[in-house]
Structure 1
Amino acid sequence: MNKRLFLSLLAVFAFQLLFAQREGLSGFSKGSTPDEVGKRLAYHFVNSRHDLYAGRYIHYAGVCTWNGAIDYALKTKDQKLIKLLQDKFEPFFTIEKPLLPPMNHVDYNMFGSLALKLYQITKDERYRKMGLAYADSQWEVPKNANPEEKAWADKGFSWQTRLWIDDMYMITVVQNEAYKVTGDRKYIDRAAKEMVRYLDELQRPNGLFYHAPDVPYYWARGAGWMAVGMPDLLRELPKDHKDRPRIMQGYLTMMKSLKTYQRPSGMWNQLIDEPDFWPETSGTAMFTYAFIVGVREGWLDAADYAPAARKAWLAMVPYIDQRNNVTEVCIGTGKKNDKQHYHDRPRNAGDLHGQAPYLWCAAALLGK
């Protein structure tokens, strides 16, 4: 092949790739644009009450939604929204300080990601100090740690390790933000080491994840935490990092499998591989986000995955009701070795487990 023909073919390929990306991830009609949807959900969140654990501490789903609203505000340069989100946080330094989660559980510690994200906007040292305390305490073994927690720490893992799939968002998100703030490789190394261990322990040959090793069901939102955690980590992980190939392999294997289980409607079901189960919005939004990021970063073939992401987004939008609540969100769900348990889970409107990944998708659709 001569040089001129090669360059011509290369130009055609580049045009086709760009067209596929634009065709799939832009050009939405009025009412379904990521700008409109993100604005509806972000302002709805900023005006809402705190979501609390049993009335005591800020819930991780609220933190996830807050982070998503910040990402959307930054993409749209909405300074008013950014200020409102800062103002919503400010009482945590004073009268709402008792609502801060204790630093003794994986779901609680991820609160630090929010403080670190706000630090990157404001450079206010109060955010940095608070956020790093949550990140560091994931590796600081408390005196009352049990033998299992001490054993994980002795192997170089977080003492909060428990091999639940949602940990691969809860641990990696705060370590990732700490890395972005400090540039200290220890934070990204921690996140990568954890991710590899969880992949080796929990990912099935088909790329998906059981809810737990003793619960052989592919629960959508559970798998969604892995689907989101991997690309978010890969975006920050240095190209020469020793764990990058393993994490990328896990991510690509999962994405390929998810694509085969996407329903004709564009949604994914409460149990991913059960065609008779109901379409669930939080898991669908998480998988859609993973597709969008993969296409944006060039990890996924745009011709295959951009249309799938677009189809999912257009299917998701009608599930937002007139009060700007995402509907058909499975409530918080513990593991149970009973298929009917998953089928019968209550479905909430406005549950922040669903509001959050919708905002992540809106921000991701608005560009890198």
Structure 2
Amino acid sequence: MNRITLSIFFLLSFQFLFAQSKLLSDFPEGQTPEEIGKRIAYRFVGAKHALHAGKWISYPETFYWNGSLQFAELTNDNELAKLLKNKFDLLISSEKELLPIKNHVDLNMFGSLPLNLYQITNDKQYLELGLPYADTQWQVPQDAKPEQKQWAEKGYTWQTRLWIDDMYMITIVQTQAFKVTGDIKYIDRAAREMVLYLKELQRPNGLFYHAPDVPFYWLRGNGWMAAGVTELLRYLPENHKDYPEIMKGYRKMMRSLKEYQTPGGMWNQLIDEADCWPETSGSAMFTYALITGVKQGWLSAEEYAPAARKAWLALVDYVDEKGAVAEVCVGTNKKNDKQYYYDRPRRTGDYHGQAPYLWCVGALLE
């Protein structure tokens, strides 16, 4: 290759890489992550609590809070950050009764929120509040059921239940604990748990059953996995013994998601069913995983950036002027009944959908 040919090659390569990078940074007015993120994040400031069992801050609200805080930090919106912090501080004063107890995977994940606040503020009261939620996932209570004790004896959390949703609930609080303490035990826990779920639930096509006894590819369930494995890989050391297997599972899933993406850019409530309806919360979780994969270099930009951009542009059409996301599947338990997933109610503004949009916003802005 002579000097002129080599120069042309490098010029074309640069132009290609520049074009690929613009796919995830250059959006039309009204569709930018800054505009969409501001609408959704500020909506949360005055919103009512979404309580678990009518008693405690729920996981969808926790994630909405975390996403809003991330947006405030990335955009240097000090006013939003102050409003969100003030809202949280009620939970350690006049609203203490709303703090989740520590006896279920959907409740322990709350710890990720005060641990996030600790990283932003360096206020140790948030660390002291959040860390026990990570620790108690591995501290077996006296009233634990036999099967819970069996999981613990094998080195897993006693809260293991092999629902695919767990792979965000468990990894997010353990990963946050690792970030604030530097203690490898937390990331080891998350990685070990992730390997178990990959082994038990990932199918040859790269997707995941909702649970071993529920052989359906439910969108948001797969979304929790996509987001959870992405979050874990962001902080798992590359020389960690479980890194290769987890990265393999992630890439296998991303290949499948690209194949199942609909022509409109979304994914369906049951991913492999063409007659099912496009659902926003799970689609946003997939989009977050794809954006992050491209930006981190885990995925080929040439192959995956166009899919991520297409998904984002499809998603923004579901956000109204008040920041409410439409077509969100309500909270869903597992059920070995295919029609059950077809018939799940859809809502606008449901917190299950608000948070994943903010994760996409954060990934695009980082």
Name the TM-score class by shorter chain: over 0.9
Cα deviation, residue 71, structure 1: 1.2
Contact kept in structure 1, 2:167 and 2:224, CA below 8 Å? yes
* Aligned Cα root-mean-square deviation (Å): 1.5
When structure 1 is superposed on structure 2, of 181-190 and 322-331 the one drifting more is 322-331
1:283-306 Cα deviation digits (max 9, x unpaired): 110111010000110111111211
Structure 2 residue 61 is the aligned partner of structure 1 residue 86: no
Contact kept in structure 1, 2:39 and 2:322, CA below 8 Å? no
**Counterpart in the other structure of 1:245:** 244
Cα deviation, residue 19, structure 1: 2.2
| Large movers: runs of 4+ above 6 Å | 2-8
Cα deviation, residue 201, structure 1: 0.6
**Counterpart in the other structure of 2:33:** 34
1:125-176 Cα deviation digits (max 9, x unpaired): 1100111110101011111111111111111111111111111100000010
1:28-80 Cα deviation digits (max 9, x unpaired): 11111100000000000111011101321001000011111111111111111
Q: Which amino acid aligns with 1:21?
A: S
Contact kept in structure 2, 1:21 and 1:303, CA below 8 Å? no
Unaligned runs of 5+ in 1: none
Distance 1:44 1:315 in 2: 21
Cα deviation, residue 15, structure 1: 4.3
Cα deviation, residue 21, structure 1: 2.1
May I ask how many residue pairs the two structures share in their alignment?
A: 366
Q: Percent identity?
A: 63
**Counterpart in the other structure of 1:16:** 16
Cα distance change on mapping 1:252 and 1:102 into 2, 3 Å: same
Question: Secondary structure of 2:48's match?
Answer: coil
Distance 2:4 2:85 in 1: 55
Contact kept in structure 1, 2:40 and 2:322, CA below 8 Å? no
**Counterpart in the other structure of 1:25:** 24
Distance 1:260 1:197 in 2: 25
Distance 2:59 2:333 in 1: 15
Contact kept in structure 2, 1:21 and 1:295, CA below 8 Å? no
Contact kept in structure 2, 1:295 and 1:302, CA below 8 Å? yes
Distance 2:259 2:212 in 1: 23
When structure 1 is superposed on structure 2, of 134-143 and 330-339 the one drifting more is 330-339
**Counterpart in the other structure of 1:255:** 254
**Counterpart in the other structure of 2:346:** 347
Contact kept in structure 2, 1:285 and 1:358, CA below 8 Å? yes
Distance 2:234 2:213 in 1: 32
**Counterpart in the other structure of 2:65:** 66
Cα distance change on mapping 1:90 and 1:236 into 2, 3 Å: same
**Counterpart in the other structure of 1:173:** 172
**Counterpart in the other structure of 1:294:** 293
Q: Which amino acid aligns with 1:309?
A: A
**Counterpart in the other structure of 2:151:** 152
Contact kept in structure 1, 2:39 and 2:321, CA below 8 Å? no
Unaligned runs of 5+ in 2: none
Cα deviation, residue 6, structure 1: 6.4
Question: Secondary structure of 2:238's match?
Answer: coil
Cα deviation, residue 321, structure 1: 2.1
Q: Which amino acid aligns with 2:130?
A: G
Cα deviation, residue 239, structure 1: 1.4
**Counterpart in the other structure of 1:220:** 219
Cα deviation, residue 342, structure 1: 1.0
Q: TM-score, normalised by structure 1?
A: 0.96
Distance 1:301 1:48 in 2: 39
Q: Which amino acid aligns with 2:240?
A: H
Give matches, 1:106-185, under 5 Å.
106-185=105-184
